[in-house]
Amino acid sequence: MSSSEPSNTKMAGVVDQSWGTYTTAEHAVWDTLYERQAAILEGRACDAFLRGLEALDLHQGGIPDFRRLNQDLEGLTGWRIVAVPGLVTDAVFFDHLAHRRFPAGRFIRAATSLDYLQEPDIFHDVFGHAPMLTDPVFADYMQAYGQGGLRALHLDHLQHLARLYWYTVEFGLTATQTGPRIYGAGIVSSHAETLFALEDLSPNRLAFDLERVMRTPYRIDDFQQVYFVTPSLETLLAATLEDFGALYSRLDGAPDIAIDAILPADRVVSRGTLAHWAIAADTSQ
């Protein structure tokens, strides 16, 4: 790939990936993480993710070069990955998504802390998110989310939208004939949570319901206590096509739902023991 390709540096808030500046050690961290995840995702990640991972060929040796990756991704769904210097504001984030650009960090975690992340790194952003962006339905969902975010910027409901993102894009499960499969980037990019989300007895797994999800807070410091399972990606997209105006009004009068609660109206996929957090609480006095 020639380095004289047009770069993204002229777009506000976007930086060049500077792929040539990664060290051998940084490339090796990508390879280690890739192999560790690839070994457990078969039969756990949904077909759309596994197909996307294959199509993008993210295991050519080391951290992918966005110029190469974007040729494949743009050809499939018109999405591309852009490098950003760190966390971006809501407005910038929504604007990227609305234009089929996914903002990714360019740094990678240290070899000494493969499992600990204070903010998303390139492995989470690219390995976790890019494969699903090759799926036409999910690709449309992510763009619609960005457009919805831009519309909601001046409404007081960004927290509700953030919960939708969290419980779908980051921690979503989708149903198959052989049980729930993972599509959420926060799960597929984490070795421990990939196993936990599907196999641990602790978390609740509930059928996806848009309003219910928006009323449910989430935790960023531990595995999720509840995962929402959508019947299919098409169902997820269809549920978000309606204008959220009426929904936002209803949410104004609706209290949050405790993170570990199961309501009479919930469709339970599997009821959790919540044992994981009981133990955590015992030892953290």
Residues that bind Fe ion (CB under 5 A): 185
- From Fe ion, ligand PHE, none, which one binds at residue 74 (CB under 5 to 8 Å depending on kind)? none
Pair of tokens at residue 74: 């743009």
| Interatomic CA distance for residues 9 and 272, integer angstroms | 47
State which of residues 202, 235, 240, 270 lies at the interface with ligand PHE (CB under 6 A). Answer: 240
Binding mask 164-193 for ligand PHE (x = CB under 6 A): x-----------------------------
DSSP readout, 233-276? HHHHHHHT-S-THHHHHHHHT-----TT---TT--EEE----HH
Does position 158 interact with ligand PHE (CB under 6 A)? The reply is: no
| Interatomic CA distance for residues 126 and 18, integer angstroms | 15
- From Fe ion, ligand PHE, none, which one binds at residue 185 (CB under 5 to 8 Å depending on kind)? Fe ion
Least distance (Å) between residue 142 CB and ligand PHE: 8
Residue 68, class by beta-carbon neighbours within 10 Å (0-12 exposed, 13-18 middle, 19+ buried)?
middle
Would you say 53 or 251 has its CB closer to Fe ion? 53
DSSP state of 155: T
Stretch binding ligand PHE (CB under 6 A), from 130-138, 188-196, 239-247, 257-265: 239-247
Would you say 172 or 203 has its CB closer to Fe ion? 172
If you search the block for the tokens 């390709």, which residue do you land on?
5
Residues that bind ligand PHE (CB under 6 A): 144-145, 148, 151-152, 164, 240-244
